Chains A and B, each alone.
Chain A
Amino acid sequence: MKTSVTRRSLLAGLGGALAGLMTNSLAQTAKAAVKTVFVRTNAPRGYDPSKHKWLMCFDVDRCIGCGLCVEACKTENHVPQGPSYFRTWIERYIIKRPKPGSGSARGEVIVDSPNGGRDGFPPTLVPREDILKSFFVPKLCNLCEHSPCVQVCPVGATFDTPDGAVLVDPHYCIGCGFCIQACPYGCRFLNPETKTAEKCTLCYHRITRGKKPACVEICPTEARIFGDLKNPVENDPIQRFINQNKVNTLKPHLGTEPRVLYANLDKEVR
C-alpha cells in the first residue's frame, strides 16, 4: 500500500508549524508592546508619567566627596553591600602638576573611587605640592535619549519611561548582562541576589510621590540638582542651573545623547 504521507503534505505540515510559531511570536510581541504602555512600575495609582519629565544635573564644583549620596542610595534602594554594586558613585580626580620642563599643560591624572566613595575619600598619597587640581565627580545613570542598554535588551525588560527614567523589570529580566556590556558609563550591574540587571531608577518610587531622589535629598552642598522639566516651580533649580552654567555631557561622541548634564566638567572625566 502506498503511504499517505508525502513530502508535500509533510512540508505543508512543517510550514504550518513554523507559521504557527511565528504568529505566536508576533502576538506575544504585540502583547509585550501593550505591556510597555501599561507597564508595572512602583509608581502610585493615578500617577501619569506623560505629565512629567524628570532630570538630574550635577555641579562638579560643588561636590565635596562626602559619600552621603552613595550611602543614601544603598539604603533607600536596598542595593547589595559589596564594593562593586552601585547605582550612584563618586570619582575623585587628581591632576598632577606637569614635570618642570616637560612642556605639558598638566601632569598625570589619577582617578579613584574607593568603595564607590561611600565612606568618603582617604587622604591621597600624592604630595600636596604635586597636585595641580583635584575634584569630585558624582555619577549615575545618564538617562540617555538613545539608550544603548534599552536597545540591546533581548526581551525588553529594560525600558524608557515617558517621564524620563530608564527602568528594569526584575520579574522579566533574564540576566544575560547584555545591557551591562552596552552601557558606556558603567552604570549597571548584575544584582548577585536577584541575578537581574539593576541600575539607578531616579528613586522612581519617591519621585512619583512628589519627593526627591534619596541622593538629592541628602546632598549637603546641592551638587545634585533635580527637577521636573514639564512642571517648573517658582525659581526652578533645574532651569536656573541650565541658564547659569555652561553644561556638558559624558562621552558625547557615542551619540547616546545623555540627558544628565554636568557643569564645570573637566576633559579628563569619562
Chain B
Amino acid sequence: MATEITNVVIETLPRFEGYVYPNEAGTHPLWGFLIVLYPYITGLVAGAFIMASLVRVFRVKPLEPVYRLSLLTALAFMLCATLPLLFHLGHPERSYQIMITPHLTSPMAIFGFVYAWYLMAVLLLELWFDFREDFVRWSQTATGIRGIIYRAFTLGVTDVTPPAVALDAKLGWIISIVGIPSAFLLHGYVGFIFGSIKANPWWGNVLMPIIFILSAMVSGIALCVFNYMFLSWVRRRQVNMPCLDMMGMFLFYALVIDATVESLDLIHRAYSAEEGFHVMEYMTQQKLFYTFTIGQGLLGTLIPLLLLGTLQLVRKHIAELNRKRMYFASAMLILIGVFAMRWNVVMGGQFFSKSLRGVMSYKLEFAGAEGWFMGMILLSLPFIILTVLIKLFLNERFPATGELSLSAKSPAVEI
C-alpha cells in the first residue's frame, strides 16, 4: 500500500502482478488522467444545471440567489468538457470526423451530438433568454468593450416591453424543462460510454449511467455550494443562509440516493461474484484502497453524510458560522470524493488485465499530456472562465432584474 502512495508522486516503472496480455503491458494505461477529468467535468455541468432547474422548474424560491451562478458554472465547465478528450486523442486534428462522419453504433460518436445539443440548444439558449433583458439594459449604461459585449449578446433583439420579457421567461422555462432530461442524457451518456464495455467487468454494468447521473447531481450541487460561498467570501458579503440551508438539504438527499445506488452496485457485484470478481476484490483492497475505501467511501460519502445529516436534524441548534463551515467542508469532501469515484472507474478499469489473471500499478506522472500538471491546468481552466463570466454577467455594478431576482431587496449577497 505504501508503494501506491509513493507511486503518486514518484515516477516508477509500471509493475505487474500475475499475467496481463502483452498488449496491455504498456508503460501507461491507455486512458489516463485526462479521461478521469472528462466525466468529472461533464458531471459538474449536469449537476450545476439541475441545481439551476430547481429554481426555474420546481420553483424552489430560497435557491434564487444561486440560480444564475449555477447556470454560469454549468456553462464554464461545459466549454471545457471536451478538452481532455481532445488532448488525449492520437490524432486530435481528425476529431471533427466524429461530428461529420459519425459511426452511429458508437456511444462516443453519439456523445458528440448529445454535447452539441446540450451546449447549443439548452445551455446557451436558456442563458440568453434569462439574460437578454439585462443585456439590453446593461448595454445602455456600459461603455467600452463591456458595452460592446453586452450589445453583441443581445443579438440585436432589444425589445424589452413587458410582453417580450414575459415571452423570454416562458421560453426559458420550456428550455429548462427540456434541459433536465438533456442534462440526465448528457451525463448518463458518459456513464454509458463506460457501462457499455462488456469486455471489462469493472465497467460493463447497467447501473453505470444511473450512478454517473446521481454522482453528477451530487458533485454539481457541491460545486455550486463551493462557488457561492467562495464568491461571497471574495466579495465580503453575507451568505444567504436560507439559500445555503436549502442547498445543503438537496445535497444531502442527492447524496443519500447516490450512496444507496452505489452501495447496491457493490452489494450486487459481491453477491453475484461473477467471473473476475476475485481480481476486482483484490484491486479494491490493494490498488484502489486509498482512492476507493478512503477517498470515495469515507471522505466522499460517509463524512459528508454525517455532517449534512446532522445539519438536517439539528440545524436550529448550530450556530451560523459552524453551519457554514460544515456545509463548506461537506462540499469540498464531496468534490474530492466524486473525483476519486471518477478515478476509480476510469483507472480501476485498467488496473486489472482483461485476462483476469493480473493487476498493474500506476504512477501518476507530473509532466506529459497525461500528467497531473496538465490535469490541474485543465481543471483550473473552467474556474478561470467562470471568473470572467462572473465579472461580465454577475457584476455587482450591473445588477440583475426580472422575476428571478425577487429577493434582491434582502441584505444578503445577490448572486
Contacts and interface: CB of A to CB of B under 8 A. Distances in A.
Given A84-B22, A113-B22, A186-B353, A178 B156 contact: no
Interface in B365-385: none
Contacts of A89: 21-23
Interface residues on B, range: 35 or more
B347 to A, nearest CB: 12
Contacts of B399: none
B208 to A, nearest CB: 14
A183 interface: yes
Interface residues on A, range: 35 or more
B198 A254 contact: yes
Interface string B15-29: 000110111111100
A59 to B, nearest CB: 21
A101 interface: no
A186 B23 contact: yes
B35 to A, nearest CB: 9
A243 interface: no
B100 interface: yes
Contacts of B355: 111, 186, 270
B108 A182 contact: no
Contacts of A84: 22-27
A152 B91 contact: no
Interface string B199-210: 110000000000
A121 to B, nearest CB: 13
A258 interface: no
A183 B91 contact: no
Most buried by B among A85, A155, A186: A155
B272 interface: no
Contacts of B314: none
A178 B158 contact: no
Interface in B47-91: 85, 88-91
B155 A196 contact: no
A174 B30 contact: no
B167 interface: yes
A43 B224 CA distance: 57
Given A173-B90, A270-B357, A5 B108 contact: no
A154 interface: yes
Interface string B305-336: 00000000000000000000000000000000
A148 B109 CA distance: 15
Contact of A270 (B107, B108, B158, B356): B356
Contact of A85 (B19, B23, B112, B193): B23
19 contacts: A3-B156, A4-B156, A7-B171, A24-B100, A25-B99, A29-B101, A32-B103, A84-B25, A89-B21, A148-B197, A153-B103, A155-B97, A155-B101, A174-B97, A178-B106, A181-B199, A186-B21, A187-B23, A255-B198
Interface of B: 18-19, 21-27, 30-31, 85, 88-92, 94-95, 97-109, 112, 120-121, 125, 155-159, 164, 167-168, 171, 193, 196-200, 275, 349, 353-357
Given A14-B125, A25-B100, A182-B199, 17 more contacts: A29-B101, A85-B23, A109-B357, A152-B197, A154-B97, A154-B109, A156-B106, A172-B94, A174-B94, A176-B90, A177-B88, A182-B197, A184-B199, A185-B354, A186-B354, A195-B90, A255-B198
